[in-house]
Amino acid sequence: MQNPLPLFCFLVFAFWVVANGSESKPEIGFYELKTGDFSVKFTNWGARVVSLVLPNKHGKLEDIVLGYDSVEEYVNDTTYFGATVGRVANRIGGAQFILDGTLYKLIANAGNDTLHGGPKGFGRLVWKVKKHHNEGHSPYITFTYHSFDGEQGFPGNLSVSVTYTLTGHNMAVKMKAKALNKATPVNLAHHSYWNLGGHNSGDILSNEIQIFGSHITLVDKNLIPTGKLASVKGTPYDFLKPASIGSKIKGLPNGYNINYALDGGASKKLKTAAIVYDKKSGRVMEVLTNQPGVQFYTAYYLVNVKGKDGFVYQPQAGLCLETQGFPDAVNHPNFPSQILAPGKTYVHEMLIKFTIKG
């Protein structure tokens, strides 16, 4: 049974939140884009993808992203299912950084570190729906958010948008941000958990993956980069040639949760970051990006998480491919810079292409 969300916003919830120091009552809704037998549903809570339905090799329609049935569950979510995360995705060591001689102290929400922008990062806020066009060959939806100076400790006002566009069986994701008055770090990421066999089909260990990154950013025990890169060759991280996830994961204590430095680095044109193939369903997912890195995560923090239709997600129930700048780049000058100067615009593009292999 598929999650019975509607064609447009079928149900709107209102609840009290604190924003910019004052109480407000924003509305949260569900929205859909559809082209043929391909449909994607969203919520403006975190500008999230909540379902993505497309056929398998037998023509059966299935939802291939992990998620929940209700808005309340998304509001209480700690997994970032389908979210747009920021102002700075991934981890910032020690929840602080120095920019232009000023020390900025952030709010720690992962031990002593900051994860995905802090406890009230972009994935845990209400976005505005600026445009929602569900007609023609390329339906799209645009969410916007204004981040204020000092929000979660980050400097400067920031205007943010994310646009999802469907074309055929492809979904384009364009994340943009403009620094309005101060230099600030920006690193947005899309955080869907994918299971090409269907969100309720079990683990992803039989999925075959290829990642176009010859190096990873080494991390300490808290997953904070050391500043050094290491070759993947001869390690469980080597997916330069397609291989099943399960064939190499045994060499790791929990599973995968690492940033790959993509070959070619940041680019103006989209390049392939990873390809995933599920033999049983025949689905193939190719992720392209203009960013220098991709975080490969096999969801080992999911333990008894009740999801859609009552299905309970366990570790390795899905995989994330979060295209991004390098984690903790604000504290590593040798990493590609994430600092956005006033008046400049950050653009992060992703293209997620789905095909069928017999």
Strand pairing category for 61-63 and 48-55: antiparallel
What's the pLDDT score for residue 21? 39
Question: pLDDT of 44-98, one tens digit each?
Answer: 999 999 999 999 999 999 999 999 999 999 999 999 999 999 999 999 999 999 9
- Predicted local distance difference test score (pLDDT) of residue 325: 98
Q: pTM of the predicted model, to two decimals? A: 0.92
Do residues 125 and 46 touch, judged by C-beta distance below 8 A? yes
Q: Is 322 a catalytic residue?
A: yes
Round the average pLDDT of the chain to a whole number and report it.
Answer: 93
CA distance 332 to 341: 18
Is residue 190 among the annotated active site residues? no
Residue 254 class from Cβ within 10 Å (0-12 exposed, 13-18 middle, 19+ buried)? exposed
In angstroms, rounded to a whole number, what is the distance separating the alpha carbons of residues 259 and 327? 7
The per-residue pLDDT for 106 is: 98
Q: How much is the pLDDT for 15?
A: 35
Half-sphere exposure (Cβ direction) of 199: Cα atoms closer than 13 Å: 30
d(CA 336, CA 332): 9
The answer to whether 118 and 110 have CB atoms below 8 angstroms apart is: no
Show the tokens assigned to 178.
């403009």
Catalytic entry in 32, 116, 322, 332: 322
> How many Å apart are CA 271 and CA 261, to the nearest integer?
13
The strand pairing partners of 324, in sequence order, are 293
What integer pLDDT is reported at residue 25 of this predicted model? 55
Among 190, 191, 199, 348, the one annotated catalytic:
191
22: helix, strand or coil: strand
Which residues of the chain fall short of a pLDDT of 50? 1-23
Place of tokens 């958010």: 145
pLDDT at 173: 98
First vs last Cα of the chain: how many Å apart? 25
The letter for the amino acid at 324 is: Q
